[in-house]
Amino acid sequence: MPDVILTSDRTLMSNYHNNEFLGFGTCAPPNFVPEWLYTYLFFPHIKTKQGIPVAAPYGLRKAEAQLLKEGFDVATVSPKHLKHFIGEAKALGIYIMDPFGLGPASSTLAAILKKEPYLAKHFKGLLNTPEVVEAKKRGLKVVVGGPGAWQFKYRPEFVESSGIDCIVEGEAEKVLGKVFRTALNGEKLPKHYEVDMGNVPKLEDIPDIVQPSVNGLVEIGRGCCRGCEFCNVTLRPLRWYPVEKILREIDVNIELGKNQGVCLHGEDVMLYGSNNVTPNDEKLLKLHEAVMKKADSISWSHCSLAAVASKPKLFAQISEMILAKQAWWGAEIGIETGSAMLAKKIMPAKALPFKAEEWPEVVKQGMGLMHDSLLVPAGTLIVGLPEEREEDLLKTMELVDDLKDCRSLIVPLFFVPLGRLKSEDWFKQTELTELHKQLLVQCAEHDFRWVGNLMDMTFAGKWYSPALKGGYKFFAWMAKRKTKQHVKSFH
């Protein structure tokens, strides 16, 4: 049996019915849908072969690849089958995204519905399973890491009582071996290990994944050059992977099955290969030509409205390539505010190469191009920024109104103090003004308007679609009713 076991809780160890969008369902707290049905609809268990998941979260696969490269005896297992592997393990590594539900989406839903989100519930549940508790008693070391590691600083009592030995925060490739060697030797680990700038990996330090990732996700680069005040990513250097490296990882995923799509992950896929805020036509086209030759379908993790708006012809060329194989594709985008004044203060480079003052126009132009090219964006708005004024909110509401004919989801998120704003206060539901409430209602109306259309596009031509689509349509119908009831209690 391996010395090191890697896993994550069940909200992360799922393929969300091959649809990353559905993964957002893990941010919600238990609600009007029975838990068994909700779990099935939004985060079903991933398939396994003798307890080994056929795919795992990309970040966990990177950790696995690094430890294998350094000669560790390591296995990635499903949390459901942990008890069959943990018996003789000396260290357990747990990958985390949003362990306490403090991320923008989950904390917003938790504040509104006043309950702990599913993803927090399942993270704690994993640490409290009898097999983990037993293994801890005989000396198992527990190491956690991933994009949500910052949240442990807000939960010091939990860290003390949970049995976690080490929390690794930051890009861990260069420190992971040292941490796990210390754990296997039974030596004392630092409670919180923050990767310093000197240990941030260069491209050549980042190993390829060796086993498939969930939904074919592959990184195309790390970092972002736009420098928004409220963002953690901006604190890291910008690095783009060469196409050959990306294709090697896609090959690993293709082994999983013929219908495997590819999700390109980067903070702004449109800026692939560029060292500034202008898309590099040649590199972006080359990447997509190469990927589309291999992939049955594609999605983007994130892209910026400014990059799309700045190169409409390039965007049209890329979308033509993608739509030759599929009916639509999706990406997350940051709208954040409709106020040019606020945009200038908190994200002055987000609109580049346009001026910050032009931000609302950039959003409309970018979203319009996306609508025409069947890229469906999930756009975020930040509610409760420290410098937000009433006139800023009115501008945002005006913008949401202007976007009503753009096929999209618009998701208002309460401000979370991250990046250079990490010493600011959290925004709470109790601070919601009448205008905030109106904005939340406006976004809900926008989303319910488009959600049926999105479901039809998602399930078109899939043999299992009637049953599953029925489930989601029922959920959407109930969610709309509940939102209306909730809205009444707002006023």
**Of 125 and 227, CB closest to ligand SF4:** 227
Q: Is 228 in the site for ligand SF4 (CB under 6 A)?
A: yes
Neighbouring-strand partners of residue 141 = 91
Rg of the chain, C-alpha, whole Å: 22
State the Cα–Cα distance between residues 185 and 188, nearest whole angstrom: 9
State the Cα–Cα distance between residues 33 and 247, nearest whole angstrom: 40
**Which of these segments, 20-28, 152-160, 224-232, 285-293, binds ligand SF4 (CB under 6 A)?**
224-232
**Of 227 and 312, CB closest to ligand SF4:** 227
User: Is the Cα dihedral 36, 42, 43, 44 positive or negative?
Assistant: positive
| Distance of closest approach, residue 221 Cβ to ligand SF4, in angstroms | 11
**Of 254 and 349, CB closest to ligand SF4:** 349
Q: Is 233 in the site for ligand SF4 (CB under 6 A)?
A: yes
Here the tokens at position 119 are 């993803």
| Distance of closest approach, residue 319 Cβ to ligand SF4, in angstroms | 21
State the Cα–Cα distance between residues 209 and 65, nearest whole angstrom: 5
Q: Is 226 in the site for ligand SF4 (CB under 6 A)?
A: yes
State the Cα–Cα distance between residues 447 and 352, nearest whole angstrom: 28
Q: Is 334 in the site for ligand SF4 (CB under 6 A)?
A: yes
Total residues contacting ligand SF4 by CB under 6 A comes to 12
Write out the binding residues for ligand SF4, residues 393-452 only, by CB under 6 A: none
State the Cα–Cα distance between residues 134 and 128, nearest whole angstrom: 10
Write out the binding residues for ligand SF4, residues 303-322 only, by CB under 6 A: 304
| Distance of closest approach, residue 380 Cβ to ligand SF4, in angstroms | 9
**Of 4 and 270, CB closest to ligand SF4:** 270
Write out the binding residues for ligand SF4, residues 20-39 only, by CB under 6 A: none
> In this chain, which of 171, 267, 388, 392 binds ligand SF4, going by CB under 6 A?
267
Here the tokens at position 54 are 């056929």
**Of 231 and 432, CB closest to ligand SF4:** 231
Q: How far is CA 449 from CA 20, 403, 444, in A?
A: 21, 12, 8
| Distance of closest approach, residue 228 Cβ to ligand SF4, in angstroms | 3
Q: Is 231 in the site for ligand SF4 (CB under 6 A)?
A: yes
How many of the other CB atoms lie within 10 Å of CB of 363? 28
> In this chain, which of 234, 280, 365, 408 binds ligand SF4, going by CB under 6 A?
234
In three-state secondary structure terms, 335 is strand
Q: How far is CA 216 from CA 55, 223, 259, in A?
A: 9, 20, 10
In three-state secondary structure terms, 113 is helix
> In this chain, which of 61, 122, 265, 350 binds ligand SF4, going by CB under 6 A?
350
Amino acid at 215: N
Q: Which residues bind ligand SF4 (CB under 6 A)?
A: 224, 226-228, 231, 233-234, 267, 304, 334, 347, 350
